[in-house]
Structure 1
Amino acid sequence: MTVTLSIALPLGLRPASAAQDSANGASAARAVPVLSVDGVVDVVSARYLTRELDRATAEGAPLVVVRLDTPGGTDKSMREMTRALLGARVPVAVYVAPAGARAASAGTYVTMAAGVAAMAPGTEIGAAHPVELGGRTPDPRMEDKVVNDAAALARSIATTRHRNAAWAEQAVRESVSLTADEAVREGVIDLVATDVPDLLQKLDGRSAPTVEGTRTLHTAGVAVDERSMLPTEQALQVLSNPSVAYLLFLLGLLGIVAEVYHPGAIVPGTLGTIGIVLALVAFGNLPISWAGVLLILLAIGLFVAEIHTAMGVLGALALAALVAGSLLLYGRPGALTPGAPASAIRVSPWLIAAMSALVAAFFLGVVRATLRARRLAVRTGTAALVGRSGVALSELSPTGTVRVDSEVWTAATEPEDEPIHQGEHVEVVGTSGVTLRVTKALHVTDLLNS
């Protein structure tokens, strides 16, 4: 006869293995957050990643997947993202996808910093050599300094994650790149997956490092929770587009100038102020060169001087300053970043050409025409009658009535002590409200009679 004893233990006194199994089951039951970093790695994407990692940790998510497709980004944002990934308390998989996507430049560092690095077929990784923002030729000594620093960072990240440190340094120094299959063979990433469900299936049962230790992943069949940026983050990312920020800044300046030359319009000044404020917000998230900003402001000042002086040379200097400032707007002279290709953070030359033509047309066409119209004589009202001739309809001593341009007006003699008799010809020499100031004038009939 066998007797089985069943002992009920409080929840907190469960055997360690049972508690672990329960925890694993609870984690597996939770959905996997999937983030999307698509485009330039910038301040907004860094904040987005950091915020969602904190949220996933608080929720006890079994894994966070970061779907990545980037040509690169700023050094500051890249370092912020790698710090967040290396210090994550929840397992994180960076997944370069979909097919045709890339983890170039800053994306290489971000991918290697993840606990799990994966790529979709038809993607690439690498080309992490530092570049000079704005396309300028860097100082050789500064370039060596920055390249060495970037290579050391790449080796450090790769070593920490037990990946190919030699290739990581080569990607920085020689701008080499790998396909997904090549990256697996070279030990740069962990696996290739066709999509997110396939990735979760392949990760099930594998171990992933976190700052608190290695965890076993239970992700087979787990639901996916797509988490996009907040509306405010999406708006800020649009504003932080280099071309959008440039447009807002220039159009804002034109709006302010339009308000100055047409006071009381309100709308141009209001929209211009809003545009400049939004541009300054965007500039705070971009590697702005204040030398470029000053050159653009100088160009506006020279255009204003040109429309008042019509010298010609000032207009040419203004156009040159505008083009130079636009080209130098992003990136400090001599400063390199291992984060972005030169084309990622700059204003398109075609946009610079279009905006330069627009600004020149605005000042030399619209504003100049406005000033010319202001200088023309008034064509309406009593002031338009100055210089015209008429006939006295009554005795003016000193006031009476006259006919000017077939209209009858109240008039007063100028000077007051010289009366004008009825029927005599007069000339309008001024106005006082709706009263004309007139003086006696000789008419051709008066000359014939004399």
Structure 2
Amino acid sequence: MDQLLSRIPPQDINMEESVLSAIFINPKGIEEIEDLTPDDFYKSSNKKIFQAILDLKKRRDPIDLMTVTTELTKKEEIESIGGVAYLVYIADTAPVATNISAYATRIIELSKARELISTAAGIVEKGFNVKNIDQYISDSQAKILDIQTTASKDKFSTMEEIMTESLKRIEQAQKSEFKLGLNFGMPKLDNYMQVWGSKLILLAGRPGMGKSSMAFSIAVHLGFQGDMSGILSIEMDKEQFADKTLSVKADINSMVFYARDSINSYGYQRLTDAAAILSDLPIYIDDSECNIEDVKRKCRKLKKLGCKIIIIDQLNQISYDKGLTPYIGISKNCSALKMLTKELRMPILLLCQLNRNLETRSNKRPIKADLAETGRLEQDADMILFLHREGYYDKKVDESITEINLSKNRQGETGVERQVLFNKKRGMFQMGGING
């Protein structure tokens, strides 16, 4: 590693001097490179010169050879940069950047490369004395993800660009045989929800309502429509998902799957046929434990794989920093996932478990106030779906009857879906795709 760090870091002194020279010739050029900072320069002299230029700009003073010399002299830095001779060289001799914006972008990229090399070296050094491997991996991921170019953070759009994109979406929706966005297989609510873009959709309910089963049923339904989904299943493992979907598609109770000699040849054939059909569904599943940084990393990877939606099961199971209360930890993770939807420009269906206080009420249907007891979730959610099966509490009521309450919808109507039934024997919900 010492040999690696002894190499000259990525840099381009000529390019740095060219940018400074361009500013001396045309001070207005600095308006084109507002993302560039003094720390992005590799050569110490160039850092100081650029800082002097920024100080003059901040005071709205003229920027030229004389004023920069005076500014550096006042800071007692004129000698450390190589004296007036170096400034004269930059102003009169150094090659001028013909495209100052492109040069500045390259200087920033080289700066980030140096930062990444330094960060990676620190990660390697700590790795020789690691005590908590999970914390070490999490901290390492966070440090690397923090190294982003300013350009990737600041993405301004003009009104013309926004309006053009909006009209394209509207025109596409008007001409399309199908509605814009994804279809969850909920006959009523699909007409209200616009599942596309940077949407955070909460699917909340008490344990036993079937949140995981609902999420998996939605993924399978989407798969039969050709829409790829990614599932981060922290709550339910992939083997359970496989058994549930096979059970429904083959119409065989999964309870007999692992009981010796309980499936005849006809049943095996149905299972084989069902597995062949389900194998073609565009679904990716990861069932490992993770913290919020793991979740963000995996979501970025799922986006690259082509997923149109990511399902996270569930919010309460994502670990958070030690020392935080569950309320604060869950709230911070939810806010981070909302920001992630904006970064990825894709919807996330986030499952959330409500606390048991609602079960003390005579009417056990969840309401938005129940979310407030779990964390600050309502503010971040674009849509909130509450899952409720009255038959779970009242044995006189058919347990297959399901209520899906669209309690919040930023861009449309709210309402209650009662046309989706729960198949208790199969552990899945009866939605269009899985029965198709």
Same fold flag (TM > 0.5)? no
Question: What is the TM-score when the length of structure 2 is the normalising length?
Answer: 0.27
The higher-RCO structure (CA 8 Å, 6+ apart) is 2
Question: What is the TM-score when the length of structure 1 is the normalising length?
Answer: 0.26
Greater C-alpha radius of gyration: 1
